[in-house]
Amino acid sequence: MPGQNRRQFIFNSLGFLMLPALPVVAAGMLSPTPSQTAGPFYPPDLPLDDDNDLTRVAGFDKPALGTIADLSGRLLDRNGNPLNGLRIEIWQCDANGRYHHPADSGRSPVDEGFQGHGHTHSDDRGRYRFRTIRPVHYPGRTPHIHVAVVPDTQNAFVTQLYVANEQRNAWDPLYRRIPVDQRHLVTAEFKAGADQSSRTLTANWDIVLGINAI
Ligand SMILES: [Fe+2]
């Protein structure tokens, strides 16, 4: 889908996104991941380098600032079936709390080594993977990563991923909007790996679309 149409597609779906989170479903089925607003900082122009490694920008020598995080998981329907070949996007602020967006009025310098936005496609087991940074807070928000799943023929699903045990979650207005018993569905631990010599964190998070199949 061309970029402009795809972006329009995402924001046309805001009405859907503002619906209250779906209730927990019948036993035997997975609870769908709650949706959340896309927020104001979806990039108006996607970066030329828009791959699933947000910590490196093609043509720029320095890697991204911040703590590197390996984010992976599966994209599933409510029956637990993998959803294959769907486009998954993430976007977030850099380690200085700056979005790569003209409407971001922060005073900290933009980290040019951070890609800001990236995308991948789920594989035949529903798996996806991103290399990014552990999200950081910025004024008014707890750390989070924006996530969109963009099927070709249905409205985009948009949500936000939060960091487990992050104290700022308790007062974040969007996190608090999610029913308490569903917050774990949009929260992941960012853990140090078994190899303690590595500074890369790992986070595992499954996304469950509120459908039976596409
Ligand atoms: Fe945000």
Q: Could you tell me the residue range of the domain that residue 11 belongs to?
A: 3-208
pLDDT value at position 196? 64
Give the count of domains, the chain: 1
Does 214 fall in a domain?
A: no
Q: Residue 185 domain-assigned?
A: yes
pLDDT score recorded for residue 154: 73
Does some domain include residue 91? yes
Q: Write down the pLDDT at residue 27.
A: 62
In a domain, 213, yes or no: no
Q: Give pLDDT tens digits for 83-140.
A: 999 999 999 999 999 999 999 999 999 999 999 999 999 999 999 999 999 999 999 9
Measured in Å, residue 28 CA sits from the centre of ligand 1 at: 33
Centre of ligand 1 from the C-alpha of residue 211, in Å: 26
Q: Give the tokens for residue 178.
A: 């999610």
How many whole angstroms from 103 Cα to the centroid of ligand 1? 12
pLDDT < 50 regions, the chain: 1-24, 213-214
In a domain, 42, yes or no: yes
Per-residue model confidence (pLDDT) at position 155:
84
CATH number of the domain enclosing 199: 2.60.130.10
- The verdict on pTM exceeding 0.85 is yes
Determine the distance separating the centroid of ligand 1 and the alpha carbon of 210, expressed in angstroms.
Answer: 23
**19 domain-assigned:** yes
